[in-house]
């Protein structure tokens, strides 16, 4: 942090701990308001916005922080990052801009395919372990009807699991979605008793071997959902 020229944060109350770290580092060029400080959530239309600041456990205070899972938001995020890089390193501004445009061209070329792959998925609902997927759902018109975690980081009660089993059977839920780090037991329990599949999705690059970069992250999630929802 002491030597950084740019600090890129997720924002949305997700990484408030970073401000203390920046103060301790003593690098004024990357603190809030400085040229090298970038909040990727700026100008994003946030979902699940609620008053009161930080929520219990996993911070969803000013809104759901998983906004990068809507691939269309990548245009806004990369625009915000581009502005910061041009401020800090104006000599290479044209190269940064060209790289961004090339990335967006690759992204746009895949959007139609992703939408086609998930066209049938709109017909069957899903259950998620954690409320990670509203942005992906909005982009591709997916429907999540239940969440396993009633409070972030707290295991669900037997009564809640039983209710989700009933819901999954009644709604003909296609899959229970969890991330690799989330417990298998509860997702497997609901799936086994309702006939749903289990879909392991990734919310960040590197969470699964297939998610090597941003484009392969989205591609992996789309193809995994398309496969289990056939």
Name the residue ranges covered by the structural domains of the chain. Answer: 7-114, 120-228
Q: Taking phi first (over 0 means left), then psi (-120 to 50 degrees means alpha), and beta for anything else, what does residue 172 get? A: left
pTM value is: 0.91
- String of b and e for 44-59 (b: at least 16 CB within 10 Å)? bebbbeeeeeeeeebb
Per-residue pLDDT averaged across 70-95, rounded?
97
Q: May I ask the CATH architecture of the domain 120-228?
A: 3-Layer(aba) Sandwich (3.40)
pLDDT above 50 for 53: no
Residue 60 sits at φ, ψ, to 5 deg, of -120, 35
Distance separating alpha carbons of residues 192 and 185, to the nearest angstrom? 10
Query: How many C-beta atoms surround the C-beta of residue 24 within 10 A?
Result: 10
**pLDDT digit string, tens, across residues 179-208:** 999 999 999 999 999 999 999 999 999 999
Output the pLDDT for position 17.
92
Token pair 């004024």 is found at 28
- State in words which class domain 7-114 has: alpha beta
> Contact, 140 vs 222, CB < 8 A?
yes
pLDDT above 70 for 61: no
Question: Residues 6 or more apart from 103 whose CB is under 8 A from it?
Answer: 74, 78
């Amino acid at each position: 942090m002491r030597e950084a020229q740019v600090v890129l944060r997720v924002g949305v109350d997700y990484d408030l701990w970073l401000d203390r770290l920046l103060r301790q580092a003593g690098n004024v060029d990357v603190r809030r308001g400085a040229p090298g400080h970038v909040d990727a959530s700026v100008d994003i239309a946030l979902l699940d916005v609620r008053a009161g600041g930080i929520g219990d456990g996993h911070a969803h205070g000013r809104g759901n922080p998983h906004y990068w899972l809507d691939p269309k938001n990548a245009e806004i995020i990369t625009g915000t990052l581009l502005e910061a890089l041009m401020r800090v390193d104006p000599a290479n501004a044209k190269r940064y801009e060209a790289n961004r445009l090339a990335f967006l061209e690759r992204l746009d070329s895949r959007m139609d395919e992703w939408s086609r792959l998930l066209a049938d998925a709109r017909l069957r609902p899903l259950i998620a372990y954690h409320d990670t997927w509203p942005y992906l759902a909005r982009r591709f018109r997916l429907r999540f009807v239940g969440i396993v975690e009633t409070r972030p980081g707290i295991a669900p009660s037997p009564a809640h699991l039983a209710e989700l089993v009933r819901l999954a059977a009644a709604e003909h839920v296609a899959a229970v979605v969890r991330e690799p780090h989330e417990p298998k037991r509860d997702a497997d329990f609901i799936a086994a008793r309702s006939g749903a599949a289990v879909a392991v999705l990734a919310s960040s690059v590197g969470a699964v071997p297939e998610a090597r970069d941003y484009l392969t992250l989205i591609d992996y999630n789309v193809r995994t959902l398309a496969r289990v929802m056939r």
